[in-house]
Structure 1
Amino acid sequence: MSRTAIWFWAVRAAAGWLVVIALQVGWTLLDDGEGTAHYVFLAITGVLAVAHVSVMPWWRYRVHRWETTADAVYTQSGWLQQEWRIAPISRIQTVDSERGPLEQLFGLANVTVTTASAAGPLRVNGLDRDTAQRLIDELTATTGTSQGDAT
């Protein structure tokens, strides 16, 4: 993962919390009641937002991992429940890259490795553009020489 991903995840999380807080502020201003409950919920939301924005990006950076070898692609993700997935190179069907507008602003990209697994594709998020391109090139070259049938 790129260390820039920490800031990307923090900004994306903050944007989501700002929407929630704006809705709560609007609800408070439009309500004709006393508003004490609104202020309590707004304070709780603020505390949760600060905790989420300050802890989540660092935790995610420390936990999420990926690796490729000549034989397989490995990913590790999760918060409390960790998931470690392995996809043999011979089972890879497609390798895709995606960059949303905010990721482009931060110079990041995501790579999705699709296999025939019922568990779904493997995702590698928060890579810098050059690393993502190298990963795609490497997997494309490796899967092209693999003898498997990708099913």
Structure 2
Amino acid sequence: MWHLSAVVEGVFAVALLTGAVLLWDRVPAWTIAALAVVQVGWAAVVPRWRYLVHRWETTETAVYTQTGWWARERRIAPMSRIQTVDYAEGPVARLFGLARVTITTASAAGAISIDGLDRDTARRLVDDLTLRADAVEGDAT
């Protein structure tokens, strides 16, 4: 899914630059070739990099995530702070049988998202987190 998204982004960027070259003579034509090379490298490297960096785990007491490319971000959401657990399938994710789980907490940093999960794993995770968060004392604020 991440490879396809990177390729689509690259095609869009190359198409925009091609349009700019055709409309304005000030943009050198060689920039299209340079951007295409960069986009091929981007599509080859970034999805693999994301896969190596992005992690998640749930325990009886919290949800842990790690994201980031250049800068890493680790987030911990205690079960007592979980307000909602959402399941979503975007159009590209649906093609690959994948889904996103979003965990909303009272944190000012915003919700935690776990992307690229197998549909069945995502559904089980939503059910499990909902039950665990409901069983913990507290008002999730």
Q: Matches of 1:103 and 1:138 in 2, distance apart?
A: 22
Alignment of 1:50-69 (within 5 A): 50-69=40-59
SS at match of 2:116: strand
2:92 aligned partner, one-letter code? L
- What are the superposed Cα offsets for residues 69-107 of structure 1, whole Å, 9 maximum, x if unpaired? 000000000011101100100000000011111111110
SS at match of 1:14: helix
Q: Matches of 1:107 and 1:73 in 2, distance apart?
A: 23
Alignment of 1:116-135 (within 5 A): 116-135=106-125
Q: 1:30 to 1:119 in 2, by over 3 A?
A: closer
Segments of 5+ residues of structure 2 without an aligned counterpart are: none
SS at match of 1:38: coil
**Displacement after TM superposition at 1:27 (Å):** 3.2
Q: Matches of 1:60 and 1:125 in 2, distance apart?
A: 11
Matched residue count: 141
Choose between structure 1 and 2 for higher RCO, CA contacts under 8 A separated by at least 6 residues.
1
Larger deviation: 19-28 or 132-141? 19-28
TM-score (norm 2): 0.94
Alignment of 1:107-146 (within 5 A): 107-146=97-136
Segments of 5+ residues of structure 1 without an aligned counterpart are: 1-7
**Displacement after TM superposition at 1:30 (Å):** 4.2
Larger deviation: 38-47 or 82-91? 38-47
Q: Matches of 1:27 and 1:78 in 2, distance apart?
A: 32
TM-score (norm 1): 0.88
SS at match of 2:28: helix
Q: Matches of 1:13 and 1:43 in 2, distance apart?
A: 17
Structure 1 stretches of 4+ moved >6 Å: none
Q: Matches of 1:71 and 1:23 in 2, distance apart?
A: 48
Query: Does residue 1:15 correspond to 2:5, yes or no?
Result: no
RMSD: 1.3
